[in-house]
A = this chain, B = another copy of it.
Amino acid sequence: MIGRLNHVAIAVPDLEAASAQYRDTLGAQVGAPQDEPDHGVTVVFIELPNTKIELLYPLGENSPIQGFLDKNPAGGIHHICYEVDDILAARDKLSAQGARVLGTGEPKIGAHGKPVLFLHPKDFNGCLVELEQV
């Protein structure tokens, strides 16, 4: 069911410093910051040859990233995103097997303009898992 690893998302306490580190110290291809007000985050994508790193920084009130950074002031890996062909079929199969889908259970449009869902970390080895339909 799952396909490619679309990205690994890292919540960072200083988006400019983290971007500069990936660009200048680690020599990666780093994009410009993009505000995603619907998701309460500013994101920077780092393009690796085979996948992406997504740096996340809180945007606005009630950002879903703020609580994570309060608990992890240095930052940390926030979630991993797997690609699926059919997000509704994936959701239904996972739900039938007891995995909990976060929120309403209906896909939202994610930072890449594609339908996404998040799965409960307790059901996936403590990892917040995003599914993205591609």
Q: Complex Cα distance A56/B114, Å?
A: 31
Instruction: Choose one: B3, B11, B25; the contact of A48 (CB below 8 Å).
Output: B3
Asked whether A72 lies within 8 Å of B126 as measured between CB atoms, the reply is yes
**Oligomer: number of copies:** 2
Contacts of A13 in B (CB 8 A): 125
Q: Complex Cα distance A3/B27, Å?
A: 9
Q: Complex Cα distance A25/B99, Å?
A: 9
B-binding residues in A (CB < 8 A)? 1-5, 8, 10-13, 18, 21, 25-28, 48-51, 53, 55, 72, 74-77, 80, 82, 93-94, 97, 99, 121-122, 124-127
Seed contacts A1-B27, A2-B48, A8-B80; 13 additional CB < 8 Å A-B pairs = A1-B25, A4-B49, A4-B50, A8-B8, A10-B126, A10-B127, A25-B94, A25-B99, A50-B50, A74-B122, A76-B125, A76-B127, A77-B77
